[in-house]
Amino acid sequence: MAGRGNLIILSGPSGAGKSAIAAGVLGAMTGLRFSVSHTTRPPRGRERSGVEYHFVSRDEFDDLIRRGEFLEWAEVYGNLYGTSKRAVEEMLDTGSDVLLDIDVQGARIVRTRCPESTSVFIMPPSYRVLRERLEQRQLDPDRVIEQRLRNAWDEVRLYPDYDYLIINGDLAGAVEELKAVIMSLRCRISCREEMARAIVGTFGGADAQDP
């Protein structure tokens, strides 16, 4: 009785907390799967290929582009990132909801190609907090942090393009809000039509007379 799953786009500026929120929701909800992106950037810390990302060479990435394997792809801070079209479709077809953690460039492309998708923008509570987060995670040199902050200046202004807005001042609260968004999608009539028809059938069908 499971229909097609919901495609959920999670986007926002670097350092807003998209990955942490996604991890919190994935660990708390069943029926939700994560789309593992391909990237040409090297792994950070304990990242594992096939878990956080599929780490590939630039030549391998270019070959995937030529073969039309990506739902979307973009160059971000000198590295290429892309979402596998086949993997997303296969997960949706099994009835699983699929969560995409992508930048605003990729989100724009997916919203255009998949108008049935639901987009969620993650916003930091302030510029100061975003700077502190980028500096505290110690993943980038100062010049890259400054570039991320300049890009964030433009990115935060794009929130009206999205369906939902989560302001990540408190991680636990942000996780709960994203869970609420996903639960609301699962309760839509369009998602439960097949199940509802089956239940109505147990009452004799839609045309049955009152008992």
Is pLDDT above 80 for 129? yes
Q: CA 88 to CA 80: how far, in whole Å?
A: 18
Strands laid side by side in the 164-167 sheet: 32-34, 97-101, 7-11, 118-123, 164-167
Is residue 191, in this structure, part of any structural domain at all?
Answer: no
More confident residue, 3 or 148: 148
Is 28 inside any structural domain? Answer: yes
Q: Which residue type sits at 40? A: T
pLDDT of residue 192: 87
**Rounded Cα distance, 41 and 134, in Å:** 18
Q: What pLDDT sits at residue 155?
A: 96
On whether residue 143 sits in a domain, the answer given is: yes
- Nearest 5 degrees, angle CA 66-CA 32-CA 7? 50
Of 34, 37, 30, 42, which Cα lies nearest the Cα of 8? 34
Is residue 69 within 8 Å of residue 85, measured between CB atoms? yes
The CATH number that applies at residue 176 is: 3.40.50.300
Residue 169 covered by a domain: yes
**Structural domain range at position 105:** 7-186
Angle subtended by helix axes 142-155 and 127-136, to nearest 10? 150
Residue 134: pLDDT band with limits 50, 70, 90? very high
Cβ atoms 169, 125 nearer than 8 A: yes
Query: In this structure, is residue 210 part of a structural domain?
Result: no
DSSP string of 143-211, one letter each residue: HHHHHHHHHHHHHGGGGGGSSEEEE-SSHHHHHHHHHHHHHHHHTSHHHHHHHHHHHHHHTT-TTPPP-
Number of separate domains in the chain: 1
For the segment 38-92, what is each residue's pLDDT rounded down to a tens digit? Answer: 999 999 888 888 888 999 999 999 999 999 999 999 988 889 999 999 999 999 9
Across the range 123-132, mean pLDDT stands at 96
Q: How far apart are CA 50 and CA 46, in angstroms?
A: 12
- Position 199 in a domain: no
Helix (H) or strand (E) holding 81: strand 79-84
Q: Is residue 130 part of a domain?
A: yes
Q: State the pTM of this model.
A: 0.89
Report DSSP state, residue 115: T
Cα(1)–Cα(194) distance, integer angstroms: 7
